[in-house]
Structure 1
Amino acid sequence: SRVELEEMVLKELEENPALEEGASEETTENAEQLRPEVPAGPPEEVPELVVNREVSTVEKIGTLDWQEYLDTHANAIHGPLSAEAISDDSDSPPSWENSLTKKTTLEDHLVWQLRLSKITEKESSIGLYIIQNLDENGYLGVSLEEICSATGSMPEEAEAVLKRIQFFDPVGVAARDLRECLLIQLENLQLSGSLAARIVADHLTFLESKRYEKLAKDLNVSIDEIAQAAHVIASLEPKPSRGYEQDEVRTVLPDVFVEKVGDEYLIYLNDDGVPRLRVSSLYRRMAGQEGAAEEQARQYLQEKVRAATWLIKSIQQRQQTLFRVTQSIFKFQQEFLEHGVSHLKPMVLRDVAEDIHMHESTVSRATANKYVHTPQGLFELKFFFQSGLKTGNGEDVASESVKDKIRTIIAAEDPRKPYSDQHIASMLSTDSITIARRTVAKYREAMGILPSSKRRQPLLRR
């Protein structure tokens, strides 16, 4: 969220002397560098990788050519970043958002994605059982046979649902072991046939034991190729549940504003309180000078400049993605902006992902714990992803829109003769909404509304 971003930036400003507050002298005219304009075209997908800080043996293999790194990114440090500039650094640490504590559990996050999936009721039941049986690291804690026994499903049915969940965000969740977890993430990055995948599949212990020369010989590749593959493996997340523990309740502040100006709706990112950042030119020069200081001191400077560069790039990537996702959401949900919840349309992650040419998991991350202030009030971005029901004329209506109609019907009922769920279903049919009594009951319970027998108020005697 925006609050977490502000906290992290302030913390980094305190701890990293190479990071400074203020616009770059070279790009004063670009003072709005953290308020990205609408991109001219769809940028390439940027995989957000999570570095495993516990696999120290992998991280120690090979080092970057620091001067080349500085030369490559010197301009990017001080100016607006393109999608290509963001995605060009395979050795960067993970997106800063992946290091923050989320305010939803992993189970909540997965169930939300499951409900947005186009699956049958039985597949949903299988999926819920899988999600509810993950261990503390996000791995599957039951066997395929146990899933089949508990859900009355065939092995191929359970395996298909499991495979779908494993590609939810975070990718690799519900894997049965570390090897499968990493292979799933590599498949998601379209690296199934890569050297990294071969190492994970059959030779992961060689990395753990630092037998790099033996590994290179067995695979008939060079040490440099092993080093590159090791960097890829190090960027994967071995614990999918990382960062999804419950956190304390915080004040909700909008990350995005949507305002109507004339006949148009404009989108603004809320970066109030978030300082504009630049890399210290002094530290950047000192880090790149040979013999300017003791080697240990120079390595310290290089690390600080690298960390500052990464933070600026990560914030730019975060802002660009959030802007594009929000813009796409309200392209689909413009009637909501005009008329409110009753005019919500069914929408799933895939709709937005295809619209802006990004992966569904990227859209999911971009909307997690983000809030938008609209003319209709403050809403979590996830709120706008709704399953739907068919109407009599063949159109779809969002589930939240149906809930709003049920809420309105109950609010207008005679408290002495409250409507039954069946009667409410019949009333909705007059609006061409075909809905079963049990679905009305499910929606009513989700809104915390009592059944008719408990809503009835006795007639007062005089």
Structure 2
Amino acid sequence: MNFNLNLIQTQKLIMTPELKQAIEILQFNAIELNEFINEELLNNPILEKLATDIDEEPISEKVEQEFEYDLDKGDKPEIDWEDMVNYFDESRPISGSTYTADSDINYDNFVADEENLKDYLLMQLKFSKLEDEVVKIGEYVIENIDDNGYLEMKNEEAMMLFNRTHDDIEQIVRLIQTFDPAGVGARDIKECLLIQLYQQGFEESLEETLVKEHLVELGEKKFAIIAKKLGESAERIQMAYDYIKTLEPKPGRSFSSMRDVRYVIPDVYVEKVKDEYVVTVNESASPRLQINGFYKKMLSQFSRDSLTNEYLSKNLQSALRIIKSIEQRRNTIYRVCTAIVEYQYDFFEKGLLYLKPLNLKDIADEIEVHESTVSRAVNGKYMQCPNGLFEIKYFFQSGVKGASGEGVSSESVKLVMKDMIDKEDTKKPLSDQFLADELVKAGINISRRTVAKYRDELNIPPSSKRKRF
């Protein structure tokens, strides 16, 4: 045993800050990417967002080869700024856009005032002809009602604040519970349903008893057990259950504002042109950047000292790396989605029933990247296609074997199961074993356990809870 010095040549991947940044940018969804870009625009004055009001050609695989300028090439200690910026400009032509004053005002942003639940309740309170002190207490109670119409206040809070007795506060709460919409001001779901039953004249009824004493069992559809306890028939309990289902569990839901609606912005569009599907990356979801024109002129017209050189070097390298990472992100998403469209062609042509099983490795091998790259490229991103709007992850499905040996996706099996359950006799619902046997007869090799799993994912109760008397 002795000490030796040996030279060994190895290859390994070093996680540089630039590589980490590229991986993070690839994983960003549309909102996160825009937040990252806005932050960089504030920190780096050399960066500038490119106007996207012009039509651009769909991204192609050429993009991957266009941005390969080596920031560290050459032996010169000083970077050739003009060469770098000119290379960037030539690789991706930029079209300018003109400013118009009309772009500052968009009349789509002018929305009419909407009445919310609290405004509606306060209006009814003012028309109740109450004393000023009682109105103040009523306003306080209404302010403690949430958007679903439930009261999030204990009577003790109002008692201490207004120096009133428990009965006084409870009387005001009861008054507000008579307001429209029915069920508003309740403390829990049971009180909400009882308020609606009383307003519709169901006092001392079977429906009242069910809500008061057997609400949990009713939710579990244990009609036979409840009927035995109350001495009623299962059919009568089921009829009462059907009526209770028509009541509103969230009275304030009718006052939900359109401003609360959140729309998904697709990252990729798939359109059928003649007989081919064309994939286009959404420019608004992944905006493009460019080098600020002022700094371009400064680079070519003015002499610079060492401090200016250091400042420009730091910011320009950062800007170009961000631009390259965003372009590579767009190119990777384009290639992944193109491969998915080719693999799932029958789905786009014929519908959900023809969705094939697919995993990350299949797409990774197709476009010659690692599985983790594909996973990051589809994370939190959406595709708009003729069949609808889907999360890109939706196309990566597990599946079971069919009669021909080809895989059948889980979503296709769920669609067949749901269709069978929708057509079943409600008095004799289909069991999981029967569904499994029928699917095997149809050429889909599946077990009863898998059928139960898919049924749970569809939020369909078991056959015992689907039975109608």
1:300 Cα deviation after fit: 2.5
Aligned residues of 2:383 and 2:392 also touching (Cα < 8 A): yes
Is 1:7 equivalent to 2:67 in the alignment? no
2:264 is aligned with 1:252: yes
For 1:382, the aligned partner's letter is K
Q: Distance in 1 between matches of 2:291 and 2:63?
A: 28
The residue type equivalent to 2:284 in the other structure is: D
Structure 1 residues 318 and 34: alpha-carbon distance in aligned structure 2, compared to 1, 3 A threshold: farther
1:418-457 equivalence runs, <5 A = 418-457=429-468
Is 2:316 the partner of 1:305? yes
Change (3 A) 1:367 1:378: same
**Distance (Å, rounded) in 2 between the aligned partners of 1:319 and 1:301:** 27
Checking the alignment, whether the CA contact within 8 Å between 2:398 and 2:410 is kept in structure 1 is yes
**How do 1:3-42 residues align onto structure 2 when only pairs under 5 Å count?**
3-22=31-50, 37-39=59-61
CA 1:273–1:406 in 2, change beyond 3 Å: closer, same or farther? closer
Q: Which amino acid aligns with 2:38?
A: L
CA shift at 1:266, angstroms? 1.3
Who is 2:295 aligned against? 283
- Paired residue secondary structure (2:60): coil
Give the equivalent residue in structure 1 for 2:343: 332
The answer (yes or no) to whether the contact 1:36–1:319 under 8 Å persists in 2 is: no
Q: How far apart are 1:7 and its partner, in Å?
A: 3.1
- Structure 1 residue runs of 4 or more that deviate by more than 4 Å after TM superposition: 30-36, 40-44, 68-74, 284-291
**Distance in 2, Cα, partners of 1:336 & 1:453:** 34
| Deviation per residue, 1:421-441 (Å, 9 max, x gap) | 001111212320011101101
Q: What's the offset of the Cα at 1:274?
A: 5.5
Partner of 1:261: 273
Alpha-carbon contact 2:58-2:279 (below 8 Å) kept: no
Q: 2:288 touches 2:326 (CA, 8 Å); kept in 1?
A: no
Question: Aligned pair in 2 of structure 1 residues 42, 318: CA closer, same or farther (>3 Å)?
Answer: closer
Deviation at 1:399, TM superposition (A): 1.6
The structural deviation recorded for 1:408 is: 1.7
CA distance in 2 between partners of 1:75 and 1:369 (Å): 33
Q: Report deviation, 1:65.
A: 4.7
Check whether the contact 2:364–2:374 (CA below 8 A) recurs between aligned residues: yes
Structure 1: distance between partners of 2:335 and 2:389: 19
Please report the RMSD computed on the Cα atoms of aligned residues, expressed in angstroms: 3.4
3-state SS of paired residue (1:439): helix
Q: Distance in 2 between matches of 1:40 and 1:316?
A: 11
**1:410 maps to what in 2?**
421
Does the CA-based 8 Å contact 1:256-1:270 persist in structure 2? yes
Structure-2 change in CA distance of 1:274 and 1:436 (3 Å): closer
Q: 1:250 and 1:375, CA in 2 relative to 1: closer, same or farther beyond 3 A?
A: same
How far did residue 369 of structure 1 move? 0.8
**Contact preservation (8 Å) 2:347, 2:355:** yes
Change (3 A) 1:298 1:286: farther
Deviations along 1:356-397, whole A, 9 cap, x unmatched?
111211111111111001111111111111122111222211
Q: 1:444 to 1:383 in 2, by over 3 A?
A: same
Letter in 2 for 1:453: S
* CA spacing shift, 1:273–1:343, aligned 2, 3 Å: closer
1:277 is aligned with what amino acid? L
Counterpart residue type for residue 392 of structure 1 = A
Q: 1:43 to 1:275 in 2, by over 3 A?
A: closer
1:297, distance to aligned residue in structure 2 (A)? 4.2
Q: CA deviation at 1:78?
A: 5.3
TM superposition shift of 1:335: 0.9
Instruction: Please report how far the alpha carbon of residue 9 of structure 1 lies from its aligned counterpart in structure 2 after TM superposition.
Output: 2.7
| 1:374 corresponds to 2:374 | no
The answer to whether structure 1 residue 76 and structure 2 residue 88 are counterparts is: yes
In structure 2, what is the Cα distance between the partners aligned to 1:72 and 1:285? 14
Find 1:389's aligned residue among 400, 416, 431.
Answer: 400
Structure 2-normalised TM-score? 0.51
How many residues in Structure 1 have an aligned counterpart in Structure 2? 267
Q: What is the SS of the residue equivalent to 1:392?
A: coil
The one-letter code matched in structure 2 to 1:432 is G
1: CA distance, partners of 2:299 / 2:393:
43
Equivalent AA in structure 2 for residue 312 of structure 1: I
Q: Which structure 2 residue ranges, 5 or more long, are not aligned?
A: 1-28, 69-75, 94-260
> Equivalences for 1:46-57 in 2 at 5 Å?
none
- Structure 1: which 5+ residue stretches go unaligned? 24-29, 47-63, 82-248
In the other structure, the counterpart of 2:160 is none
- Give the % identical residues: 42
- Secondary structure at 2:364's aligned position in 1? helix
The amino acid of 1:345's aligned partner reads: K
Give how far 1:317 is off.
Answer: 0.4
SS at match of 1:265: strand
Distance 1:41 1:303 in 2: 25
Q: Secondary structure at the match of 2:279?
A: strand
User: Relative contact order: is structure 1 or structure 2 higher (C-alpha 8 Å, sep ≥ 6)?
Assistant: 1
Query: What CA distance in whole angstroms lies between the structure 2 residues aligned with 1:405 and 1:263?
Result: 28
Alignment partner of 1:322 is 2:333: yes
Looking at structure 2, the residues matched to 323 and 386 of structure 1 have their Cα atoms a distance apart, in angstroms, of 20
Q: What one-letter code is carried by the residue in structure 2 that aligns with 1:256? A: V
Structure 2 partner of 1:342: 353
- TM-score, length basis structure 1: 0.51
